[in-house]
Amino acid sequence: MKNMTLQNLNHLHIEDLKNKQHPSVYFDSEAYGILILRFFNAIEENINVFSSGFVIDDENRVYLFNRDTQDISELTHSEFYKLIDQKVDDASDYLNTLVEKVEDMEESIYDDHDIIKSWFELKKLFTRIDRILTQTTKVQELFFHKSPLKQDEILKIGFEDINEHLNRATRICHTNSAKLDNIYSLHHALTNEKLSSVIYTLTVISAIFLPLNLVVGFFGINTEGLYFSGNQDGTKIVTAILISIFTVSALFFIKRKWL
């Protein structure tokens, strides 16, 4: 059989191969099978998500859809494995950079006041990556379970290795997503503790000064016969009363260990 071309494919399958953001999927027909795997890597520290499409004909020949030429080109089984393995390694490298950011966040949780913004970005990335890895792993396993390519012993070992790498990356993603949840819980607890401390301080200050406000308010009313109104030492006496109330209140709070 001569080499397969795009003209041999169903037009709907061609559209799927051309779609850069097509999710991972595998389906086969009598004449050929279509394998689309979604991967990610880093471009200037930003995530780049893309799909790679492959065609497997009825003679187990593998073709890669080239987006530059908008055509398919044949790959050896070894090239097929190495290409996917490289994409998995690139994804793992980017995932490792995110893991380092999570570790840095754990170290700086007490000092970084803008941690929530960084937390949200990382949580969003790990959630997205988890969806990609879960679907890609599922499709890769389905493909190799159904595909006659598993008869190639070297390719079988290679895809078992790829499957192990994908599963490990998924576990790393789950672990660090859980770490982010713990970081958020701790940050929330620290924020609540600071807020509680502020409210507690304001409450204590209010409790100490409330009696003073009552005394000052009482002596501030403009009525006849007010205590000490005719006494030349009235101001000193009232001041002494205020100081006494403040001192007694402060000592009471200190004794109760509220201060």
pLDDT reported for residue 258: 67
Fold of 6-194: Methane Monooxygenase Hydroxylase; Chain G, domain 1 (1.20.58)
- Rounded CA-CA distance 219/225 in Å is 11
CA distance 217 to 226: 12
Predicted local distance difference test score (pLDDT) of residue 108: 84
What are the structure tokens assigned to 49, written together?
A: 């998500």
pLDDT of res. 170: 95
Find all residues with CB under 8 Å of 141, minimum gap 6, and list them: 163
Whole-model pTM?
Answer: 0.75
Low-confidence ranges of the chain (pLDDT < 70): 1-2, 112-113, 223-225, 228-229, 258-259
Q: Residue 254: is it exposed, middle or buried by C-beta count within 10 angstroms (0-12/13-18/19+)?
A: exposed
Rounded-to-integer distance, Cα 82 and Cα 242, Å: 85
Give the DSSP letter string of 180-208: HHHHHHHHHHHHHHHHHHHHHHHHHHHHH
Residues 175-222: tens digit of each pLDDT = 999 999 999 888 888 788 888 888 887 887 787 778 778 777 777 777
Annotated domain spans of the chain: 6-194, 220-255
